[in-house]
Amino acid sequence: MITARNVFSADGRMLLAADKEITESYIRRLQEMEVYAIYVRNPLFDDVEVPLVVSEETRIQSMQTVKRAFEVLRNKREDVSFDAIQGVARRIVSEVLRNRRALVHLTEIRTHDDYTFAHSVDVCGLSVLVATHLGYNEVRLQELAVGALLHDVGKTKVDAAVLNKQAALDDDEMAMMRSHTMFGFDILRCSKGKLTLPSIHIALQHHEKYDGSGYPRGLSKEEIHEYSRIVSIADVYDAITSDRPYRKALEPHEAYELMLVNGSQHFDPQILPIFLKRIAIYPVGTVVRLNTGDIGVVVSVPPEMPLRPTLRLIMDKQRRLYPGSIEYDMQNHLTSFVDQVVDGRELLKLI
Protein backbone atom coordinates (compact mmCIF):
# COMPACT_ATOMS: atom_id res chain seq x y z
CA MET A 1 0.00 0.00 0.00
CA ILE A 2 1.00 3.58 -0.66
CA THR A 3 0.12 6.55 1.57
CA ALA A 4 -2.36 8.93 -0.04
CA ARG A 5 -1.80 11.86 2.32
CA ASN A 6 0.78 13.15 4.73
CA VAL A 7 0.42 11.72 8.23
CA PHE A 8 0.85 14.31 11.02
CA SER A 9 1.15 14.07 14.78
CA ALA A 10 -1.00 16.26 17.03
CA ASP A 11 1.67 18.94 17.21
CA GLY A 12 1.92 19.09 13.45
CA ARG A 13 5.07 17.05 12.92
CA MET A 14 5.00 14.99 9.75
CA LEU A 15 5.25 11.32 10.68
CA LEU A 16 5.05 9.93 7.17
CA ALA A 17 4.85 11.67 3.80
CA ALA A 18 2.28 11.00 1.09
CA ASP A 19 3.17 8.64 -1.80
CA LYS A 20 5.40 6.42 0.34
CA GLU A 21 5.25 2.67 0.37
CA ILE A 22 4.00 1.52 3.76
CA THR A 23 6.40 -1.01 5.18
CA GLU A 24 5.90 -3.28 8.17
CA SER A 25 8.24 -1.14 10.22
CA TYR A 26 6.30 2.04 9.38
CA ILE A 27 3.11 0.32 10.53
CA ARG A 28 4.74 -0.67 13.82
CA ARG A 29 6.05 2.87 14.36
CA LEU A 30 2.66 4.42 13.64
CA GLN A 31 0.96 2.01 16.03
CA GLU A 32 3.45 2.93 18.73
CA MET A 33 2.44 6.56 18.20
CA GLU A 34 -1.22 5.59 18.51
CA VAL A 35 -2.00 6.36 14.87
CA TYR A 36 -4.54 3.72 14.00
CA ALA A 37 -5.80 4.84 10.59
CA ILE A 38 -4.21 6.58 7.62
CA TYR A 39 -5.21 7.31 4.02
CA VAL A 40 -3.93 4.87 1.41
CA ARG A 41 -4.03 5.02 -2.36
CA ASN A 42 -6.48 2.87 -4.23
CA PRO A 43 -5.93 2.54 -7.99
CA LEU A 44 -9.69 2.42 -8.59
CA PHE A 45 -10.18 5.85 -7.06
CA ASP A 46 -6.88 7.62 -7.66
CA ASP A 47 -8.54 10.46 -9.52
CA VAL A 48 -11.18 11.11 -6.86
CA GLU A 49 -10.71 14.32 -4.87
CA VAL A 50 -12.37 15.06 -1.55
CA PRO A 51 -13.43 18.71 -1.56
CA LEU A 52 -12.19 20.52 1.56
CA VAL A 53 -13.76 23.64 3.03
CA VAL A 54 -10.57 24.29 5.04
CA SER A 55 -7.28 23.15 3.48
CA GLU A 56 -5.20 20.50 5.16
CA GLU A 57 -2.34 22.95 5.65
CA THR A 58 -4.53 25.52 7.42
CA ARG A 59 -6.16 22.81 9.50
CA ILE A 60 -2.80 21.50 10.74
CA GLN A 61 -1.42 24.97 11.40
CA SER A 62 -4.57 25.93 13.28
CA MET A 63 -4.37 22.79 15.42
CA GLN A 64 -0.81 23.65 16.39
CA THR A 65 -1.78 27.22 17.25
CA VAL A 66 -4.76 26.11 19.35
CA LYS A 67 -2.60 23.55 21.13
CA ARG A 68 0.00 26.19 22.02
CA ALA A 69 -2.67 28.62 23.21
CA PHE A 70 -4.25 25.94 25.41
CA GLU A 71 -0.88 25.05 26.93
CA VAL A 72 -0.08 28.64 27.77
CA LEU A 73 -3.55 29.30 29.18
CA ARG A 74 -3.37 26.16 31.29
CA ASN A 75 -0.10 27.15 32.89
CA LYS A 76 -0.72 30.88 32.92
CA ARG A 77 3.00 31.36 33.10
CA GLU A 78 3.04 33.85 30.29
CA ASP A 79 0.52 35.91 28.40
CA VAL A 80 -0.96 33.97 25.54
CA SER A 81 -0.65 35.71 22.24
CA PHE A 82 -4.18 35.96 20.92
CA ASP A 83 -2.65 37.39 17.74
CA ALA A 84 -1.77 33.88 16.60
CA ILE A 85 -5.35 32.71 17.22
CA GLN A 86 -6.68 35.78 15.41
CA GLY A 87 -4.33 34.96 12.53
CA VAL A 88 -5.50 31.37 12.02
CA ALA A 89 -9.13 32.45 12.51
CA ARG A 90 -8.62 34.95 9.67
CA ARG A 91 -7.19 32.20 7.46
CA ILE A 92 -10.09 29.87 8.20
CA VAL A 93 -12.61 32.64 7.49
CA SER A 94 -11.04 33.52 4.15
CA GLU A 95 -10.86 29.87 3.02
CA VAL A 96 -14.44 29.17 4.05
CA LEU A 97 -15.60 32.30 2.21
CA ARG A 98 -13.86 31.04 -0.90
CA ASN A 99 -15.41 27.55 -0.57
CA ARG A 100 -18.74 28.47 0.91
CA ARG A 101 -20.72 26.71 -1.81
CA ALA A 102 -19.04 23.39 -1.01
CA LEU A 103 -20.42 20.68 1.22
CA VAL A 104 -18.60 19.41 4.27
CA HIS A 105 -17.16 15.95 3.74
CA LEU A 106 -16.12 14.75 7.14
CA THR A 107 -13.29 12.48 6.24
CA GLU A 108 -10.49 13.54 8.53
CA ILE A 109 -8.99 10.77 10.56
CA ARG A 110 -8.20 11.91 14.07
CA THR A 111 -5.50 10.45 16.19
CA HIS A 112 -6.25 9.77 19.78
CA ASP A 113 -4.11 12.56 21.23
CA ASP A 114 -5.17 15.42 19.04
CA TYR A 115 -8.92 15.24 19.53
CA THR A 116 -9.47 18.52 21.37
CA PHE A 117 -7.39 20.53 18.92
CA ALA A 118 -8.81 18.94 15.77
CA HIS A 119 -12.29 19.33 17.25
CA SER A 120 -11.72 23.03 17.98
CA VAL A 121 -10.57 23.71 14.44
CA ASP A 122 -13.32 21.67 12.79
CA VAL A 123 -16.04 23.27 14.93
CA CYS A 124 -14.62 26.64 13.89
CA GLY A 125 -14.76 25.75 10.17
CA LEU A 126 -18.30 24.38 10.41
CA SER A 127 -19.53 27.38 12.42
CA VAL A 128 -18.03 29.89 10.00
CA LEU A 129 -19.53 28.02 7.07
CA VAL A 130 -23.02 28.21 8.58
CA ALA A 131 -22.54 31.88 9.42
CA THR A 132 -21.60 32.76 5.82
CA HIS A 133 -25.01 31.36 4.86
CA LEU A 134 -26.64 33.52 7.53
CA GLY A 135 -25.15 36.54 5.77
CA TYR A 136 -22.50 37.44 8.37
CA ASN A 137 -19.94 40.08 7.41
CA GLU A 138 -16.22 39.49 7.90
CA VAL A 139 -16.04 41.25 11.27
CA ARG A 140 -18.68 38.96 12.76
CA LEU A 141 -17.23 35.89 11.05
CA GLN A 142 -13.89 36.69 12.65
CA GLU A 143 -15.44 37.13 16.11
CA LEU A 144 -17.28 33.84 15.73
CA ALA A 145 -14.18 32.02 14.44
CA VAL A 146 -12.00 33.13 17.36
CA GLY A 147 -14.63 32.16 19.91
CA ALA A 148 -15.20 28.80 18.23
CA LEU A 149 -11.46 27.99 18.21
CA LEU A 150 -11.36 28.63 21.97
CA HIS A 151 -14.78 27.27 22.93
CA ASP A 152 -13.40 24.35 24.94
CA VAL A 153 -10.41 26.14 26.47
CA GLY A 154 -11.92 25.54 29.92
CA LYS A 155 -11.11 21.86 29.51
CA THR A 156 -7.51 22.74 30.32
CA LYS A 157 -8.74 23.11 33.94
CA VAL A 158 -10.56 19.78 34.01
CA ASP A 159 -8.77 16.74 35.39
CA ALA A 160 -7.41 14.60 32.54
CA ALA A 161 -8.73 11.49 34.30
CA VAL A 162 -12.25 12.91 34.02
CA LEU A 163 -11.74 14.17 30.47
CA ASN A 164 -10.56 10.81 29.15
CA LYS A 165 -12.62 8.49 31.32
CA GLN A 166 -13.98 5.57 29.34
CA ALA A 167 -16.92 4.78 31.61
CA ALA A 168 -19.90 6.94 32.50
CA LEU A 169 -19.11 9.90 34.76
CA ASP A 170 -20.47 10.02 38.31
CA ASP A 171 -22.26 13.15 39.55
CA ASP A 172 -19.13 14.91 40.81
CA GLU A 173 -17.21 14.13 37.66
CA MET A 174 -20.09 15.33 35.52
CA ALA A 175 -20.21 18.60 37.47
CA MET A 176 -16.45 18.94 36.96
CA MET A 177 -16.79 18.30 33.23
CA ARG A 178 -19.62 20.80 32.90
CA SER A 179 -17.65 23.48 34.66
CA HIS A 180 -15.36 23.74 31.62
CA THR A 181 -17.82 26.35 30.36
CA MET A 182 -17.30 28.63 33.39
CA PHE A 183 -13.56 27.95 33.46
CA GLY A 184 -13.32 28.87 29.79
CA PHE A 185 -15.23 32.09 30.29
CA ASP A 186 -13.01 33.06 33.24
CA ILE A 187 -9.82 32.28 31.36
CA LEU A 188 -10.85 34.33 28.34
CA ARG A 189 -12.21 37.21 30.38
CA CYS A 190 -8.67 37.90 31.51
CA SER A 191 -7.59 38.36 27.90
CA LYS A 192 -6.98 42.07 28.44
CA GLY A 193 -9.40 43.31 25.86
CA LYS A 194 -7.95 41.27 23.00
CA LEU A 195 -11.15 39.29 22.54
CA THR A 196 -14.67 40.68 22.29
CA LEU A 197 -17.39 39.75 24.77
CA PRO A 198 -19.55 37.89 22.22
CA SER A 199 -16.49 35.75 21.31
CA ILE A 200 -15.85 34.95 24.95
CA HIS A 201 -19.48 34.04 25.57
CA ILE A 202 -19.15 31.09 23.20
CA ALA A 203 -16.99 29.33 25.80
CA LEU A 204 -19.68 29.98 28.42
CA GLN A 205 -22.78 29.20 26.37
CA HIS A 206 -21.94 26.49 23.85
CA HIS A 207 -23.66 23.78 25.95
CA GLU A 208 -26.86 25.76 26.43
CA LYS A 209 -29.80 24.26 24.55
CA TYR A 210 -32.57 26.03 22.72
CA ASP A 211 -35.29 24.58 24.97
CA GLY A 212 -33.46 25.64 28.14
CA SER A 213 -32.24 22.15 29.09
CA GLY A 214 -28.54 22.92 28.70
CA TYR A 215 -25.86 24.20 31.07
CA PRO A 216 -24.41 26.11 32.91
CA ARG A 217 -27.34 28.51 33.21
CA GLY A 218 -30.25 26.82 31.46
CA LEU A 219 -30.71 29.71 29.04
CA SER A 220 -33.19 29.28 26.20
CA LYS A 221 -33.93 30.64 22.74
CA GLU A 222 -32.68 34.19 22.14
CA GLU A 223 -31.20 34.37 25.63
CA ILE A 224 -28.38 32.34 24.11
CA HIS A 225 -26.15 34.47 21.90
CA GLU A 226 -26.49 33.58 18.23
CA TYR A 227 -22.77 32.73 17.99
CA SER A 228 -23.26 30.11 20.68
CA ARG A 229 -26.38 28.74 18.99
CA ILE A 230 -24.29 28.20 15.85
CA VAL A 231 -21.32 26.69 17.67
CA SER A 232 -23.51 24.30 19.68
CA ILE A 233 -24.77 22.71 16.45
CA ALA A 234 -21.28 22.37 14.98
CA ASP A 235 -19.95 21.09 18.32
CA VAL A 236 -22.51 18.29 18.65
CA TYR A 237 -22.22 17.21 15.03
CA ASP A 238 -18.44 17.11 15.12
CA ALA A 239 -18.41 15.29 18.47
CA ILE A 240 -20.81 12.52 17.44
CA THR A 241 -18.98 11.91 14.17
CA SER A 242 -15.65 11.42 16.00
CA ASP A 243 -14.35 8.31 17.73
CA ARG A 244 -14.06 8.89 21.47
CA PRO A 245 -12.56 6.65 24.15
CA TYR A 246 -16.08 5.72 25.31
CA ARG A 247 -17.90 5.27 21.99
CA LYS A 248 -17.46 4.85 18.25
CA ALA A 249 -18.13 7.62 15.77
CA LEU A 250 -21.45 7.79 13.99
CA GLU A 251 -21.45 7.85 10.20
CA PRO A 252 -22.54 11.21 8.76
CA HIS A 253 -25.94 9.83 7.68
CA GLU A 254 -26.56 8.53 11.23
CA ALA A 255 -25.44 11.82 12.75
CA TYR A 256 -27.72 13.69 10.36
CA GLU A 257 -30.72 11.64 11.53
CA LEU A 258 -29.86 12.15 15.17
CA MET A 259 -29.51 15.91 14.72
CA LEU A 260 -32.89 16.03 12.99
CA VAL A 261 -34.56 14.02 15.77
CA ASN A 262 -33.13 16.10 18.63
CA GLY A 263 -33.09 19.21 16.55
CA SER A 264 -36.29 20.92 17.56
CA GLN A 265 -35.49 20.80 21.27
CA HIS A 266 -31.77 21.42 21.31
CA PHE A 267 -31.02 23.71 18.43
CA ASP A 268 -32.20 26.93 16.88
CA PRO A 269 -34.84 25.86 14.32
CA GLN A 270 -33.73 28.58 11.89
CA ILE A 271 -30.05 27.64 11.98
CA LEU A 272 -30.19 23.83 12.08
CA PRO A 273 -31.58 23.40 8.53
CA ILE A 274 -28.89 25.74 7.18
CA PHE A 275 -26.26 23.59 8.86
CA LEU A 276 -27.73 20.29 7.66
CA LYS A 277 -27.85 21.60 4.10
CA ARG A 278 -24.06 22.00 4.12
CA ILE A 279 -23.33 18.44 5.22
CA ALA A 280 -22.52 15.71 2.73
CA ILE A 281 -24.69 12.93 4.16
CA TYR A 282 -22.80 10.49 1.95
CA PRO A 283 -19.29 11.97 1.78
CA VAL A 284 -16.90 11.15 -1.04
CA GLY A 285 -15.53 7.66 -0.41
CA THR A 286 -18.71 6.29 1.21
CA VAL A 287 -19.70 2.83 -0.06
CA VAL A 288 -23.45 2.62 -0.63
CA ARG A 289 -25.95 0.01 -1.73
CA LEU A 290 -28.80 1.31 -3.89
CA ASN A 291 -32.36 0.03 -3.96
CA THR A 292 -31.41 -1.58 -7.29
CA GLY A 293 -28.92 -3.79 -5.43
CA ASP A 294 -25.92 -2.12 -7.06
CA ILE A 295 -23.02 -1.24 -4.80
CA GLY A 296 -20.88 1.80 -5.56
CA VAL A 297 -18.56 4.36 -4.06
CA VAL A 298 -19.50 8.02 -3.84
CA VAL A 299 -17.09 10.03 -6.01
CA SER A 300 -18.82 13.42 -6.01
CA VAL A 301 -21.82 15.10 -4.39
CA PRO A 302 -23.79 17.96 -5.96
CA PRO A 303 -24.18 20.64 -3.23
CA GLU A 304 -27.76 21.38 -4.32
CA MET A 305 -28.78 17.72 -4.16
CA PRO A 306 -26.71 15.93 -1.53
CA LEU A 307 -28.94 12.82 -1.57
CA ARG A 308 -28.16 12.18 -5.24
CA PRO A 309 -24.39 11.73 -5.48
CA THR A 310 -22.44 10.33 -8.40
CA LEU A 311 -21.16 6.82 -7.76
CA ARG A 312 -18.54 4.60 -9.29
CA LEU A 313 -20.23 1.24 -9.52
CA ILE A 314 -18.40 -1.75 -8.07
CA MET A 315 -20.79 -4.68 -8.22
CA ASP A 316 -24.36 -5.51 -9.11
CA LYS A 317 -26.93 -7.28 -6.98
CA GLN A 318 -25.58 -10.71 -7.99
CA ARG A 319 -22.21 -9.58 -6.65
CA ARG A 320 -20.72 -9.54 -10.14
CA LEU A 321 -17.99 -6.92 -10.44
CA TYR A 322 -18.53 -4.13 -12.92
CA PRO A 323 -15.71 -3.85 -15.42
CA GLY A 324 -13.60 -0.69 -15.31
CA SER A 325 -15.05 2.42 -13.80
CA ILE A 326 -18.71 2.96 -14.57
CA GLU A 327 -19.99 6.30 -13.34
CA TYR A 328 -23.57 6.43 -12.15
CA ASP A 329 -25.04 9.88 -11.65
CA MET A 330 -28.05 9.51 -9.38
CA GLN A 331 -29.42 12.83 -10.64
CA ASN A 332 -30.09 11.02 -13.92
CA HIS A 333 -31.74 8.02 -12.22
CA LEU A 334 -34.48 9.51 -10.13
CA THR A 335 -36.07 6.19 -9.14
CA SER A 336 -32.89 4.98 -7.46
CA PHE A 337 -32.02 5.89 -3.92
CA VAL A 338 -29.45 4.96 -1.33
CA ASP A 339 -30.70 1.97 0.60
CA GLN A 340 -27.78 1.37 2.91
CA VAL A 341 -24.26 2.49 3.73
CA VAL A 342 -21.86 -0.46 3.47
CA ASP A 343 -18.76 -0.82 5.62
CA GLY A 344 -15.85 -0.26 3.20
CA ARG A 345 -13.79 -2.98 4.90
CA GLU A 346 -16.52 -5.53 4.20
CA LEU A 347 -16.46 -4.54 0.57
CA LEU A 348 -12.71 -5.03 0.32
CA LYS A 349 -13.20 -8.65 1.35
CA LEU A 350 -15.65 -9.18 -1.52
CA ILE A 351 -13.54 -7.77 -4.33
Smallest separation (angstroms) from Fe ion to the CB of 274: 22
Q: How far apart are CA 333 and CA 340, in angstroms?
A: 17
Tell me if residue 117 falls in helix, strand or coil. Answer: helix
How far apart, in Å, are the Cα atoms of 90 and each of 6, 34, 116, 216? 24, 32, 20, 29
| Closer by beta carbon to Fe ion, 81 or else 179 | 179
| Closer by beta carbon to Fe ion, 152 or else 268 | 152
Sole window of 5-13, 150-158, 194-202, 216-224 interacting with Fe ion (rule: CB under 5 A): 150-158
Taking CB atoms, the residue at the shortest distance from Fe ion is 152
Q: How far apart are CA 180 and CA 153, in angstroms?
A: 8
| Closer by beta carbon to Fe ion, 152 or else 238 | 152
Q: What is the DSSP letter of 52?
A: -
- Number of shown-chain residues binding Fe ion (CB under 5 A): 1
For CA atoms 182, 183, 187, 188, the dihedral sign is negative
Sole window of 42-50, 144-152, 252-260, 334-342 interacting with Fe ion (rule: CB under 5 A): 144-152
| Closer by beta carbon to Fe ion, 87 or else 212 | 212
Which amino acid, 315? M
Smallest separation (angstroms) from Fe ion to the CB of 152: 5
Smallest separation (angstroms) from Fe ion to the CB of 172: 18
Sole window of 113-121, 145-153, 169-177, 221-229 interacting with Fe ion (rule: CB under 5 A): 145-153
| Closer by beta carbon to Fe ion, 149 or else 301 | 149
Contacts 24+ apart (CB under 8 A), 291-297: 291/336, 291/337, 291/338, 291/339, 292/317, 292/336, 293/317, 293/318, 294/328, 295/342, 295/347, 296/328, 297/44, 297/45
| Closer by beta carbon to Fe ion, 102 or else 240 | 240
Smallest separation (angstroms) from Fe ion to the CB of 220: 18
Contact with Fe ion (CB under 5 A) among 95, 143, 152, 268: 152
Sole window of 111-119, 146-154, 236-244, 306-314 interacting with Fe ion (rule: CB under 5 A): 146-154
| Closer by beta carbon to Fe ion, 22 or else 239 | 239
How far apart, in Å, are the Cα atoms of 5 and each of 18, 164, 287? 4, 28, 20
* Residue 122 within binding range of Fe ion, rule CB under 5 A: no
Smallest separation (angstroms) from Fe ion to the CB of 237: 13
Which amino acid, 324? G
Is residue 106 within 8 Å of residue 256, measured between CB atoms?
A: no
Sole window of 6-14, 87-95, 151-159, 293-301 interacting with Fe ion (rule: CB under 5 A): 151-159
Smallest separation (angstroms) from Fe ion to the CB of 206: 6
Smallest separation (angstroms) from Fe ion to the CB of 215: 10
Residues 6+ apart with CB under 8 A from 309: 280, 282, 298, 299, 300, 301, 302, 330
| Closer by beta carbon to Fe ion, 103 or else 153 | 153
Other CB atoms closer than 10 Å to residue 205's CB: what's the count?
Answer: 26
| Closer by beta carbon to Fe ion, 99 or else 232 | 232
Smallest separation (angstroms) from Fe ion to the CB of 240: 13
How far apart, in Å, are the Cα atoms of 165 and each of 170, 171, 172? 11, 13, 13
Smallest separation (angstroms) from Fe ion to the CB of 27: 34
How far apart, in Å, are the Cα atoms of 31 and each of 25, 36, 38, 111, 349? 10, 6, 11, 11, 23
Binding site for Fe ion (CB under 5 A): 152
